[in-house]
Amino acid sequence: MSKQPVDPLRTKLFDLIATAEQRTATMRDFAATPGSSWLAKNELQALMALLSDLETLLEDIKQSDAESGY
């Protein structure tokens, strides 16, 4: 079996998902700590920007797949 080449778009996708998971956990921890809701809100804003990046990346992956015949 030949090994498929690494897809840089999907590699970036996995990295962004891992970052989103970390930010979500951090937001949860801040939100659960009295007096730290403002930190949770900052994490939420960062997470929203990250989700926008994920949406753009998924469109890039969709286009790349279409060009590859998938």
Q: 58 CB contacts (<8 Å, ≥6 apart)?
A: 13
Contact 12, 57 (CB under 8 A): yes
Is it the case that residue 5 has pLDDT exceeding 90? no
Which pLDDT score is estimated for 4?
A: 73
Q: Read out DSSP for 4-44?
A: PPP-HHHHHHHHHHHHHHHHHHHHHHHHHSTT-HHHHHHHH
The two three-digit tokens of residue 55, written as one number = 């949406």
**pTM (2 d.p.):** 0.87
Biggest CA–CA distance in the chain, Å, is 56
| 28 pLDDT more than 80 | yes
